[in-house]
């Protein structure tokens, strides 16, 4: 029998229904995500002139900006969702509606010069370099007083909304704190008020004690399938210590995060057939204190199913793979 499960932090409801997986074409939303280089790819090495001038690049052997020889490269998005302004965004009243200028930043982080590399195939050392680049750009953009929130996201594969095959992620700066993050912060405050404890620390303690949804852990991070996971093989990476700000990781913690990311992405690719996916990092708002009551975390969403009328109409997602079963498969899979 199916179950309705509620996310402890956000209150979001999910229907876990393994019976739905028996439908014809139930998992056909995403073909294997095998990228093929094309001569027109602007993110491939040697095509640096086809992007805006780079904001940051890691070149182990040195070299001039906007030339080949890089490991990770950051450029402004050529078609930004948000653009830099000269002042803080101002709310306007338009009749019964409210409008806020789309002031912000939108950057592209090219994960590798290789068209075929992705999170699942990048080495832990390369992933650590990528994390350091994320932190550098995050720190630089968060200093802008017009921005309230910075979000790092990744879309891989057409089913996940990627318009370019070459592996890349994006950093978006907003003049507001997104509603999804506000719901998490409200859940933290609610639980603290009711129980006097951190809701994320409680989840970590419970999941480690239970073990049935744990995929992998190291000294600093837990990789697990959330109890109310919305999609098949959805996983999260969360720091095991009370940490609200992604960018404040130590060098040792960055290495541990790279290890957790390598384990999570590799196991998912091998277990689920290299699916298209989305990921994002939720962290504290830009100008919050480092002691802010929160745990930053990464959420990883393989695109193995498609949302339909019930999901859009009800706001309740149907997950056709129980998180416990997904975690069991991922634990048994090599990265």
Helix (H, G, I), strand (E, B) or coil at 41: coil
Task: Quote the pLDDT of residue 234.
Answer: 97
Task: Quote the pLDDT of residue 25.
Answer: 40
**pLDDT tens for each residue of 40-62:** 899 999 999 999 999 999 998 88
Task: Quote the pLDDT of residue 87.
Answer: 65
Please provide the DSSP assignment of 195-258 as one string: HSS-HHHHHHHHHHHH-TTEEEE-SSEEEE--TT-SSTT-EEEEESS----GGG--HHHHHHHH
Q: What is the rounded distance in angstroms from the CA atom of residue 183 to the CA atom of residue 178? A: 9
Nearest to 182 by CA among 154, 155, 153, 149: 149
| Tokens found for residue 59 | 């070149």
Task: Quote the pLDDT of residue 45.
Answer: 92
Mean pLDDT over 9-36 rounds to 60
Task: Quote the pLDDT of residue 120.
Answer: 93
Mean pLDDT over 108-129 rounds to 94
Most confident stretch, 28-32, 66-70, 310-314, 317-321 = 66-70
Confidence tier at 24 by pLDDT (50, 70, 90)? very low
Task: Quote the pLDDT of residue 10.
Answer: 85
Mean pLDDT over 134-157 rounds to 94
Mean pLDDT over 197-210 rounds to 97
What is the residue extent of each domain of the chain? 47-331
CB 244 within 8 A of CB 283: yes
Q: Could you say which DSSP state residue 50 is in?
A: G
Confidence tier at 86 by pLDDT (50, 70, 90)? low
Least confident among 34-43, 249-258, 284-293, 302-311: 34-43
Q: What is the rounded distance in angstroms from the CA atom of residue 46 to the CA atom of residue 313? A: 46
pLDDT of residue 6 exceeding 90: no
Task: Quote the pLDDT of residue 310.
Answer: 86
How does strand 149-156 pair with strand 105-110?
unpaired
pLDDT of residue 22 exceeding 90: no
Task: Quote the pLDDT of residue 27.
Answer: 45
Task: Quote the pLDDT of residue 26.
Answer: 43
Is the backbone of residue 134 left (phi > 0), alpha (psi -120 to 50) or beta?
A: alpha
Please provide the DSSP assignment of 273-317 as one string: TS--EEEEEE---TTS-TT-S---EEEEEE--S---HHHHHHS-E
Task: Quote the pLDDT of residue 35.
Answer: 56
- Which residues does the annotation mark as catalytic? 168
Q: What is the rounded distance in angstroms from the CA atom of residue 334 to the CA atom of residue 58? A: 29
Mean pLDDT over 118-142 rounds to 96
Mean pLDDT over 70-98 rounds to 84
Mean pLDDT over 297-314 rounds to 91
CB 69 within 8 A of CB 108: no
pLDDT of residue 28 exceeding 60: no
Looking at 3.30.428.10, 3.40.50.11540, 3.40.50.1580, 3.40.30.10, the CATH number of the domain 47-331 comes to 3.30.428.10
Task: Quote the pLDDT of residue 298.
Answer: 98
CB 56 within 8 A of CB 74: yes
**pLDDT tens for each residue of 225-264:** 999 999 999 999 999 999 999 999 999 999 999 999 999 9
């Amino acid at each position: 029998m199916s179950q309705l499960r509620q996310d402890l932090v956000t209150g979001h409801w999910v229907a876990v229904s393994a019976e739905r997986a028996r439908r014809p074409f139930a998992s056909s939303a995403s073909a294997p995500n095998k990228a093929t280089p094309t001569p027109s790819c602007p993110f491939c090495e040697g095509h640096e002139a086809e992007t805006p001038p780079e904001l940051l690049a890691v070149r182990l052997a040195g070299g001039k900006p906007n030339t080949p020889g890089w490991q990770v490269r950051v450029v402004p998005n050529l078609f930004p969702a948000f653009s830099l302004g000269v002042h803080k965004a101002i709310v306007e009243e338009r009749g019964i509606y409210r409008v806020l200028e789309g002031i912000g930043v939108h950057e592209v982080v090219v994960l590798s010069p290789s068209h075929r590399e992705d999170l699942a195939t990048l080495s832990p050392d390369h992933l650590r370099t990528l994390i350091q680049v994320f932190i550098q750009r995050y720190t630089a953009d968060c200093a802008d007083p017009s921005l309230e929130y910075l979000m790092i996201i990744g879309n891989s594969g057409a089913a996940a909304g990627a318009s370019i095959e070459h592996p890349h992620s994006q950093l978006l700066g907003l003049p507001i704190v997104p509603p999804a993050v506000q719901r998490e912060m409200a859940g933290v405050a609610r639980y603290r008020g009711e129980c006097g404890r951190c809701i994320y620390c409680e989840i970590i303690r419970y999941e480690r004690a239970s073990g049935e949804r744990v995929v992998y852990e190291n000294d600093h991070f837990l990789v697990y399938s959330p109890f109310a996971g919305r999609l098949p093989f959805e996983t999260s990476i969360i720091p095991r210590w009370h940490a609200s700000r992604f960018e404040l990781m130590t060098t040792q913690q960055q290495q541990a995060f790279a290890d957790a990311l390598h384990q999570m992405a590799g196991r998912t690719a091998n277990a689920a057939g290299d699916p298209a996916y989305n990921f994002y990092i939720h962290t504290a708002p830009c100008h919050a204190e480092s002691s802010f009551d929160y745990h930053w975390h990464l959420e990883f969403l393989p695109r193995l199913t498609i949302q339909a009328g019930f999901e859009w109409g009800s706001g309740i997602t149907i997950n056709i793979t129980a998180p416990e079963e997904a975690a069991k498969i991922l634990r048994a899979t090599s990265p």
